[in-house]
Amino acid sequence: MTLSTASSSLRKRRKSTEHVDHHVGGGRRIGSHALLIILAIYFIVPLWWLLVSSTKSTSSLFSSAPLWFDHPADFIENVQGLFTHQGGIYWRWLGNSFFYALTGGIGATVLAILAGYGFAKYRFSGRGWVFGLILGSVMVPLTALVVPTFLLLSNVGLINTPWAVILPSLLSPFGVYLMRVYTQDAVPDEMLEAARIDGAGEFRTFVQVALPMMKPAVVTVLLLSVVATWNNFFLPLAMLNDPNLLPVTVGLNNWTKLSSTGAGGEQVWNLVTSGAFISVLPLLLSFLFLQRYWQGGLAIGSVK
């Protein structure tokens, strides 16, 4: 496998972009832009709807035009509702989501960094088949593991604790694969050798010489695993019963279920929309501000 990073070639390519543009005819450019605008509208309309709906009361969700504001100031009332409904449990869910995503995501990343470096830079016996096993496991659907993991964790009494969500989230075979292919090319053996000759131990060589060079892959794996844990639904749905432990995804799904089946008092559609809106902000904003890091990084492992 010869793999390189996309970001370095991205930089090389940028210089010649204007060059490419010369050849694209005026008509074609208008057509391309029109297509992009249509695509962008399709992808953004649901988010616009969510923004608008987060500012509506339940009755105006039913009665007003879906894609435009009714009484935007109602947003404040909805936020107050999130603080009072069921004792403000929504914020607890949001906090849980942060906690699970950060611990699970950072943990998975640390394990992937260590393992990726180990596989890329040491030729210990057994390396080939162990890595082959990990690579093959990328193809095992992780949701198929939820039921047996539930049974196993219930034997040791970990069900309905944060551990039941965090520990399985530490598993990221794809992260190990990414770290390995990146490290293999980005960290030259000569540099490591030089550090060793200078008397640095194996761990110091790794931390001081290799780790700084692995940064783009680290950011990517961190992003992928945080997003995966933040998104997870099946696992917390199966593992957690206590309403106080739920992440925001499962919590909002419960409110929707109650709202569509329950009586008037349980209909909290306005809290579902405003809660959903607030919960997507942290990730959306981080993606916006971290563009530099993820745009090239997400292609690591696929660019030859």
Within 130-189, which residues bind another protein (CB under 8 A)?
A: 130, 134, 136-137, 139-152, 167-168, 170-171, 173, 176, 189
Site for another protein in 76-105 (CB under 8 A): none
- Residue from the set 159, 187, 221, 238 that interacts with another protein by CB under 8 A: 238
Shortest gap between Cβ of 79 and another protein (angstroms)?
17
The reply on whether position 215 binds another protein by CB under 8 A is no
How many binding residues for another protein (CB under 8 A)? 124
Burial of 141 (0-12, 13-18, 19+ CB in 10 A): exposed
Shortest gap between Cβ of 218 and another protein (angstroms)?
15
- Residue from the set 59, 84, 231, 244 that interacts with another protein by CB under 8 A: 231
- Residue from the set 200, 211, 213, 219 that interacts with another protein by CB under 8 A: 200
Cβ proximity to another protein: between 62 and 83 the closer is 62
Within 13 Å, how many C-alpha atoms sit on residue 84's CB side?
Answer: 7
The secondary structure of 159-176, three-state, reads: CCCCHHHHHHHCCCHHHH
Cβ proximity to another protein: between 81 and 221 the closer is 221
Site for another protein in 43-82 (CB under 8 A): 43-44, 46-47, 49-50, 53, 61-62, 65-67
> Which among 72-80, 86-94, 250-258 is the span making contact with another protein, rule CB under 8 A?
250-258
Shortest gap between Cβ of 149 and another protein (angstroms)?
5
Lookup result for tokens 């947003």: 75
Helix residue spans in 162-214 (DSSP H): 163-169, 173-186, 189-197, 202-204, 211-213
Shortest gap between Cβ of 30 and another protein (angstroms)?
11
Shortest gap between Cβ of 82 and another protein (angstroms)?
15
What is d(CA 253, CA 246) in angstroms, rounded to the nearest whole number?
A: 11
> Which among 75-83, 87-95, 116-124 is the span making contact with another protein, rule CB under 8 A?
116-124
State whether residue 66 is helix, strand or coil. Answer: coil
The reply on whether position 287 binds another protein by CB under 8 A is yes
Site for another protein in 7-26 (CB under 8 A): 9-10, 13, 16-21, 23-24
Shortest gap between Cβ of 41 and another protein (angstroms)?
8
State whether residue 63 is helix, strand or coil. Answer: helix
Shortest gap between Cβ of 13 and another protein (angstroms)?
5
The reply on whether position 207 binds another protein by CB under 8 A is no
The reply on whether position 214 binds another protein by CB under 8 A is no
